[in-house]
Amino acid sequence: MRRKVVAGNWKMNNDINATVDLISALKAGLKSSEPKSDVIICPPFTSLETAKELVKNSNIKLGAQNMHFEENGAFTGEISAAMLRSTGCEYVILGHSERRTIFQESDELINKKIKKALSSGLKPIFCIGETLEERESSITFDVITRQIQKGLEGISSLESIIIAYEPVWAIGTGKTASPAQAEEVHSFIRNLLTKMYGEKEAQSVIIQYGGSVKADNASELLNMPNIDGALVGGACLKADSFLAIINY
């Protein structure tokens, strides 16, 4: 039985004061009972140190939203895996569609980042997903196959990896994939991973859905057999809606 994992991608939101307020409200909401899902929050880099202190002794885990694949050096504006580890991060989102489209990140670059994250003890939340144009051209499965094969090239185990299927047309648009549409792709992904890594690893890997997950659609999505949680953008910025998704 895979446990559900819900992660919040804060994106470029929340200064230090807002970080303190949001994490305090989340902790208060999670205190009363054992949450139904495992919880990860991914604040911006500037909030990680504050978040690290606030999530101590709670069941909230910490992740970052990006990192560079080099160890250190002349890479102005970049953050390394070791820096993330030193701020208490256990996870890092890699390959988010906003990184792929706005910052031109390629499958090859994402592969380098995943390898560096793993060798540094970070668990990647590896995002994949098709654009609207690709879906309408009926190449969703080809795109997913390419992103997975190239993104995971040379990686021998899925043990420390979370996959997040995020159809680009559903991110921040209010349009959600229907549970059946999402399940179809999740099941395709698990079959592909079975061919690449064998039954045992593919059955254990967490495959999150992301794309306009809200309190009122979380339960129908998370109850699908191959949807093991959610990567949440907009709805993770308010404690009430994020808590409702966690306890879907």
- Residues annotated as part of the active site: 96, 166
List the one residue from 119, 132, 153, 172 that touches ligand PEP (CB under 6 A): 172
Count of CB atoms situated within 10 Å of the CB of 142: 12
List the one residue from 166, 202, 226, 239 that touches ligand PEP (CB under 6 A): 166
Q: Is 121 in the site for ligand PEP (CB under 6 A)?
A: no
Q: Are 127 and 117 in contact (CB under 8 A)?
A: no
Residue that is written with structure tokens 């909401």 in the block: 29
List the one residue from 26, 67, 79, 213 that touches ligand PEP (CB under 6 A): 213
List the one residue from 35, 43, 124, 233 that touches ligand PEP (CB under 6 A): 233
Are β-strands 162-165 and 91-94 bridged in parallel, bridged antiparallel, or unpaired? unpaired
Helices (H), the chain: 16-31, 48-55, 81-86, 97-102, 107-119, 132-136, 140-151, 179-197, 199-204, 218-222, 239-246
Question: Of 1-30, which residues contact ligand PEP (CB under 6 A)?
Answer: 9
In the complex, what is the shortest distance from the CB of residue 154 to ligand PEP, in angstroms, rounded to a whole number?
26
User: Which pair of structure tokens corresponds to residue 20?
Assistant: 């303190």
Question: Of 182-211, which residues contact ligand PEP (CB under 6 A)?
Answer: 210-211
Interatomic CA distance for residues 5 and 230, integer angstroms: 7
Q: For ligand PEP, which stretch binds (CB under 6 A), given 20-28, 181-189, 218-226, 228-236?
A: 228-236
Give me the 44-83 binding string for ligand PEP, x by CB under 6 A, dash otherwise.
Answer: ----------------------------------------
Q: Are 246 and 36 in contact (CB under 8 A)?
A: yes
For binding to ligand PEP (CB under 6 A), which residues are involved?
A: 9, 166, 171-172, 210-213, 231-235
